[in-house]
Structure 1
Amino acid sequence: MQMKRIGIAIDSLAGGGAEKIVLTLAAQLKKLGHEPHLLVLMPNCDYQLPDDIPVHFCFSPEQKQIDSLWRLRHSVAQVQQWVEGLIDQFGQFDLFLSNLDKTNLLFTKASITPLYCVIHNSIEEELTRQLKLGPLAYFNMLRAKKALNGQHLVTVSKGIEREIVQSKRVSPASIRTIYNPFDIAQIRARADEENSDIPQGDYLIHVGRVAKQKRHDILFKALAKMRQPLPLVLLCNNPKKALKLAKKHGVADRVICPGFQANPFPWIKQAKLLVLSSDYEGFGNVLLEGLVCNTPVVSTRCPHGPDEILTQGLAQYLVPRRDAVALSQAMDSALMAYPDITHIDMFDRVAIAEITQAYLTLCDVQSESDQSNSLSSSGVL
């Protein structure tokens, strides 16, 4: 395949699932001989920047609220100038992939093409959450979601795709699901790396930022109700906040908070059980990572993703969201016995080679579309 120049854009490289996926995809594109560029709005980085992939930042740390109403016009102009400068320096891009709300808003408003917006989370669940925070928070998020109208969308799970189609809140030009890419061999290799900070003895693990969406309150309530009093390791970005919440629920003495880990896989591999307690997800990356590390997982049956990962014999470890009793019972059950997970069907469907090829195919789709539009405008069609 001819070399493709692909700009992968995202709000920042702070420690989150979408950010990790962007870095994984960029690394594989580079490995295959393509030319990925990371286009990052804000210079917040928890992950180590790759040495062999260009990383470009648009805004300075002093520039705040870049998507606010009073700054939007200026921010859009700055994005336009930034991308035009990159094209002048490196040549035309075959594809831009936009990730997360701020980037989607600014890239669509700036008319960056050819563009696909990657949707990493449930639109309806996010809007419901913002509505509880007040009308201004809701309006700001709704504005970002409405910017997806008329755009080409990629969703990271079938559930998100169904939600968008059925809710009709957004009317995309096209929509397709491409699962998040997982370099399974690399995950397993990194899981074997030694780490002296990992606790000795049995423990549970939860990986995720401290946010209402992740429902640490339900997790801690479930922990308190378990028959087996194992400690819980929390890999998160705000240990102080997590411990304060754990204390509120009376389980602080059972919670270990080592903070964000650039390589969480040895921690996951050595855990007896990985737990996800979220109200909603886009896919639930950490569930797949747990299974790849051969660690049993238990999850809330939240929209969207977990029910696409935990199928057949693993479906029994999906429990109703916000139900601490059901979650504690599933955790105890999983610790007693768990099906064989050395290989599940989903491993093949998220394999990095397959997912990367699906993204590369978008370049050809855009090229064919451009040729069709050109012929149409010239009167050939």
Structure 2
Amino acid sequence: MKVAIVIDSLVGGGAEKVMLTLAGELLAQQHEVVILSLANSIEYTLPSQLNVECLFDHKAKKVDRFWQLKNSVKRIENWFAQYQSKNGEFDLVLSNLDRSNNLLICSTIKHVFYVIHNSITAELNRQKKLGPFAYQYLLKSKKRLSGQNLICVSEGIESEIKQQKLIAPQSITTIFNPFNVQSIVKKASETELGLPREPYIIHVGRLAKQKRHDVLFSAFANLNTSHKLVLLCNKVNKAAKLGRQHGIEDRLILPGFQQNPYAWIKGADALVLSSDYEGLPTVLIEALILGTPVVSTDCTHGPKEILTGNLAKYLVPTNNPEALTQAIESVLNDKPEVVDAEILSKISATQVAESYLALAQNR
């Protein structure tokens, strides 16, 4: 099959990583894949056999705003027309994130499915705090998804969309994010320079309000342990400044964004997620694959679908540093076995790729 993956950029985020994993698996199954990034922004090292093209030669921040939308839609339609005239029609087009969604919804491009990576309600609530223009832009973007074919990365997101009535999709289904388990385990065994010698817990994620580093730092400040806190994030200087404000700067290790975070995750005594909302937090599943215990906020959505059974005790309310401190202390004391977590039977890249391809076969 021929598959196009359209995404806002290939910076170091979760949706980007998910789609690169999916693309790699589709290539391994001998399908034809191209990733079209709106922005000329690529932070990941790309497989040599993967065809990646950029629609614009800049960051593409405003390409879907009303004064540019018509020209941007024409540009993406022309790209598809030229590509398909040489290579044949795509069987499946996967759109990711708001800018890509807005262009494709307004276009004549066929066989498009829209992948929903986050809680729409939580995104809108956050956007309200940024002002009316930002909120109206996002609200309009989400409403455009009505009448479209949606793929949700967690059952919680699918349930939310069905209940809130903001969007009336043509179809909706849940497909968990794909994980190349063998590759993750192999990369975790690679020698990584700079790994701490002392015990540490780890947080992996960009420095953004959604991730609630303030809650994480408050919890860590009250943690009675000699462990260090490793942050694999962007904006290292900003993270250090926030650490100083919480009095934990001397307990932080800030190596920055890492192409291969797996050795860091495997070496940690626990991984902590402190977010207000997610979709299906990739890093929680990666930690479980590597045998690293996790603590997470019970945010919308994903964590409660990952931490089930005996692991549910390590879910805590959002925006509650005290509960997060207690859960971290518990997980460090309990050292639970996590490699047999139920979620790990549902997320192999092969299974997930087959679910995506079935959409094209069944349409």
Same fold? TM cut 0.5: yes
- Looking at structure 1, the residues matched to 329 and 60 of structure 2 have their Cα atoms a distance apart, in angstroms, of 48
Displacement after TM superposition at 1:61 (Å): 1.1
Tell me whether 1:137 sits opposite 2:134 in the alignment. yes
Deviations 1:272-330 (A, max 9, x none): 11000000000111000011110010000000000000001000000000000000010
From 69, 73, 76, give the equivalent of 2:70. Answer: 73
Q: How does 1:175-254 map to 2 (within 5 A)?
A: 175-254=172-251
Displacement after TM superposition at 1:63 (Å): 5.3
Which residue identity lines up with residue 282 of structure 2 in the other structure? N
- Looking at structure 1, the residues matched to 124 and 60 of structure 2 have their Cα atoms a distance apart, in angstroms, of 26
SS at match of 1:250: coil
Q: How does 1:323-342 map to 2 (within 5 A)?
A: 323-342=320-339
SS at match of 1:133: coil
From 158, 161, 180, give the equivalent of 1:161. Answer: 158
Structure 1's unaligned 5+ residue stretches are 367-381
- Looking at structure 2, the residues matched to 357 and 210 of structure 1 have their Cα atoms a distance apart, in angstroms, of 34
- Looking at structure 1, the residues matched to 132 and 233 of structure 2 have their Cα atoms a distance apart, in angstroms, of 29
TM-score, normalized by length of structure 1? 0.94
More divergent stretch after superposition (68-77 vs 349-358): 68-77
Tell me whether 1:122 sits opposite 2:123 in the alignment. no
For the 8 Å contact 2:308–2:341, the answer to whether it is kept is no
- Looking at structure 1, the residues matched to 154 and 60 of structure 2 have their Cα atoms a distance apart, in angstroms, of 33
Displacement after TM superposition at 1:111 (Å): 2.8
In the other structure, the counterpart of 1:96 is 93
- Looking at structure 2, the residues matched to 246 and 258 of structure 1 have their Cα atoms a distance apart, in angstroms, of 14
From 151, 165, 173, give the equivalent of 2:148. Answer: 151
Displacement after TM superposition at 1:62 (Å): 6.9
TM-score, normalized by length of structure 2? 0.98
From 360, 365, 369, give the equivalent of 2:362. Answer: 365
Tell me whether 1:262 sits opposite 2:253 in the alignment. no
Q: CA RMSD in A?
A: 1.0
Which residue identity lines up with residue 102 of structure 2 in the other structure? L
In the other structure, the counterpart of 2:297 is 300
SS at match of 1:227: coil
- Looking at structure 2, the residues matched to 254 and 213 of structure 1 have their Cα atoms a distance apart, in angstroms, of 23
More divergent stretch after superposition (54-63 vs 30-39): 54-63
- Looking at structure 1, the residues matched to 141 and 81 of structure 2 have their Cα atoms a distance apart, in angstroms, of 23
How many aligned positions are there? 363
- Looking at structure 2, the residues matched to 272 and 57 of structure 1 have their Cα atoms a distance apart, in angstroms, of 40
In the other structure, the counterpart of 2:271 is 274
For the 8 Å contact 2:216–2:321, the answer to whether it is kept is yes
Deviations 1:231-258 (A, max 9, x none): 1000001111111111111111111111
Which residue identity lines up with residue 347 of structure 1 in the other structure? L
Structure 2's unaligned 5+ residue stretches are none
Displacement after TM superposition at 1:362 (Å): 0.7
More divergent stretch after superposition (152-161 vs 107-116): 107-116
In the other structure, the counterpart of 1:345 is 342
- Looking at structure 2, the residues matched to 112 and 189 of structure 1 have their Cα atoms a distance apart, in angstroms, of 39
- Looking at structure 2, the residues matched to 139 and 84 of structure 1 have their Cα atoms a distance apart, in angstroms, of 32
For the 8 Å contact 2:39–2:59, the answer to whether it is kept is no
Which residue identity lines up with residue 174 of structure 1 in the other structure? S
For the 8 Å contact 2:198–2:228, the answer to whether it is kept is no
Displacement after TM superposition at 1:86 (Å): 1.2
Which residue identity lines up with residue 131 of structure 1 in the other structure? K
In the other structure, the counterpart of 2:49 is 52
Displacement after TM superposition at 1:196 (Å): 1.7
In the other structure, the counterpart of 1:371 is none
In the other structure, the counterpart of 1:8 is 5
SS at match of 1:205: strand
Q: Cα–Cα, structure 1 residues 355 and 63, in superposed 2: closer, same or farther, change >3 Å?
A: closer
For the 8 Å contact 2:296–2:316, the answer to whether it is kept is yes
- Looking at structure 2, the residues matched to 44 and 62 of structure 1 have their Cα atoms a distance apart, in angstroms, of 6
